[in-house]
Amino acid sequence: MYVFLGREQLPIYVGKSVNVRRRVQQHLSRPPSSERHFREMAAGVFDLRSVSTGTELHALVLEDQLIKELRPAYNRRQKKFLNQRYLELSSRGPAGLSVVSQAKGTFGRSVFGPFSDEYYAARLAALTSRYFGLGSRTPAREEPPEDLPAARAFLTGESAEVLERIRGEVSRHRATLAFELAAAARDRLRFCESFLAHQRFFLDFKHRVLLVEDRARASRGYFLFVRGRLRHHGRRRPAPAELRRLGASDGGGPPESDLYLYDRASLVRAWIAARAETRGWAVLGSPRPGTQGV
């Protein structure tokens, strides 16, 4: 892990590499034909700080943390989370979902996300409206639609009831030989399954204790996340008493925004999925009150 510092020791870039020396040399020896972004960064480096992490996941988490804390000017790819989209639920007038670029409401109540892009958010909004009747009430009707709480539970990942409804659609269409309709319902089912799996992981990541085991021979070890924060990493599995003690702690600092936690959860989940044959994870402790399994 390394940090390039510019004038007045201000951080301008955070990076990671197995061979920091070689990577730094590559950065500082950019040819004139390279992108202007990289040439400007190389010209602005006045100092360097580095730290050894020992494992890939620790480096990923630390890089993510430093970029969010320091906001270095030349880390463009890792700051894409600032451009993600949200769904905003209106419960006044006709209830409905709209895609927005900034989260102004309360997460889990009137705002859901973030989501990777506008297309994904729009597809989720359309699917939620289809199965939970959003937009179906008139302005003269003051009470929210019956399915509004169910829609919230779906969008936060707390309920997977909609999967059974879609599976029923697939079965009915197949029974009537409406294969195109069955295929479309099956696509909606896969989309919902993927979405709910991600949301459930985020709920666990935010509210519970996750123990991730790296089974690769070269880097075998354990990573313990307590409500979104990395609290332990090393080759030794924490003893039950230590797990209970860490699980009962406050996570080691002030509460973090859902935006940061969601982005970190996505990073950890992607890391696990990329090496599914050598990594595993276990959720410890009680689930968030009121949640249902996915």
Mean pLDDT of 209-235: 83
Report if residue 294 sits inside a domain.
Answer: no
Report if residue 33 sits inside a domain.
Answer: yes
**Per the structure, how many domains does the chain have?**
4
Decide: pTM greater than 0.75: yes
Are residues 137 and 120 both part of a single domain?
A: yes
The DSSP output letter for 107 is: B
Could you list the residue range(s) of the whole structural domain that residue 91 is in?
A: 84-146
Separation CA 107–CA 256 (nearest Å): 13
Measured CA distances, 176 to 180, 186, 188, 196 (Å): 11, 15, 19, 29
**Cβ atoms < 10 Å from Cβ of 2:** 18
User: Among residues of the chain, what percentage have pLDDT more than 70?
Assistant: 81
Residue 79 has pLDDT above 70, yes or no: no
Separation CA 294–CA 289 (nearest Å): 15
Are residues 197 and 214 both part of a single domain?
A: no
pLDDT in tens, 93-107: 556 788 888 766 666
Torsion of Cα atoms, 67 then 210 then 124 then 116, to 10°: 20
In 90-239, which residue ranges form alpha helices assigned H by DSSP? Answer: 118-132, 148-156, 161-175, 179-207
Are residues 8 and 76 both part of a single domain?
A: yes
Inter-residue contact 39 to 32 (CB < 8 Å): yes
Report if residue 92 sits inside a domain.
Answer: yes
